[in-house]
Amino acid sequence: MSALSGPDSSGPALDGPSFSGRVIVVGVTGGIAAYKAVEVCRRLVDAGAHVVPVMTQDAEHFIGRTTLSALCSEPVQTSLWDEDSPIPHTQLGQSADLILVVPATARLLGAYAGGLSTDLLTNTLLATRAPVIVCPAMHTEMWEHPAVQDNVVLLRRRGVVVVDPDVGRLAGGDSGAGRLASPERIVAAVARTLGPRDLADLIVVVTAGGTREPIDAVRVIANRSSGKQGYALAAEAAARGAVVTLISTVELATPPFVALVKVETAAQMQTAVESLAAVADVVIMAAAVADFRPKAVAVNKLKKHDGPPDIILEPTPDILAGLGMVKPTGQILVGFAAETDDLVDNAEAKLRRKNLDLIVANDVGAAGVGFQHDTNAVCLLRPDAPMVTIGLTDKRSIARAVLDSVVDIRRGSRS
């Protein structure tokens, strides 16, 4: 048995991407959205990145350099001439693992597309071979101008990652396309760019949350699953380049670059899963699907004064077993086993019985494990490899370990 321990308290923030050891140059240009770069930088630092801030002269109209200097890993750099290095742009460009421009104004996009080296930031962009992400933000009329759109197309063709702006409220009370993407989406784009890309372009289906089986028009039979582990798996798969669909019963923020399908009951989840599984490369059934449901559902709310109802239960379809019976060649099927006793024995039996490639087992009776918690501790069991035990850690780290196993299984099947 091998063991993996979770990150220590000095590591990246819980349930987020890890940029430990990565050098990220963050360029801030002169747009009203410059203040949002502060939150982006904070999240990058919290995730373990060494963040080097570069501000244009115009950016200082909107945000003070002291703020970024305090939150980032180094003081702000602004000039080609006033820094310690005689060639700061070359040093920045060569040392960066990634350059992120947030916000990217129309002027910056035009200068970068045209190869103009007008300041420290544009010089750095031209002097790097690191991946570059630009996050445009401007008024709708500017964003939709043909010149700006041509520049965006050109940059994308050269390999620059463009995080399209959102639609929403803009400066001056206007509303429309051009609002800077959310910090969550920007950081997710960084994770997707710097990630291992070992799931690139694979179709991954993840289920999350506990199903709710109706008793009457108001009441349901449910369980305590929060869906957090499934959402962490979807976010991590997307960060590694997969095309991810998340089938969920819970109300959590959808991870960036993930398509969401909302369901409530086991029957609805079965329909959604079966419609997507046939073409999926990986199916991860992290949802807690009810084993039983009321055989008859009252149309109206049952009244207390009528006394306790006789609720007759019937089994729900075993979605996971059904997937195992028709699993296409090469597909990886991952199941979960939430247990309170005989953890390993029960998980091994389920692994064999349902024709799974991997099962993730956890003792939901243990402190800090499973339902409702931000942490988890699991055992990973496969038919062809020793069990791996992962101690108590955040659910994003659990997701990384699960997907590492998926990648290992794919490599083994190909060889």
Question: From edge to edge, which strands make up the β-sheet containing 98-104?
Answer: 50-55, 23-28, 98-104, 132-136, 161-162
Amino acid found at 181: A
159: left (phi over 0), alpha (psi -120 to 50) or beta: left
Distance between CA atoms of residues 395 and 6, nearest Å? 10
What does the block give as tokens for 305? 């004064």
Residue 134 DSSP SS3: strand
Backbone angles phi, psi at 248, to 5 degrees: -135, 150
Beta bridge partners of residue 262, listed in sequence order: 248
Question: Is 223 in the active site?
Answer: yes
Please give the angle made by the CA atoms of 277, 278 and 280, to the nearest 5 degrees.
60
- DSSP structure class, residue 165: P
The catalytic position among 123, 151, 223, 376 is 223
Distance between CA atoms of residues 159 and 380, nearest Å? 37
Residue 268 DSSP SS3: helix
Those residues with Cβ within 8 angstroms of residue 251's Cβ, 6 or more apart along the chain or in another chain: none
Active site residue ranges: 223
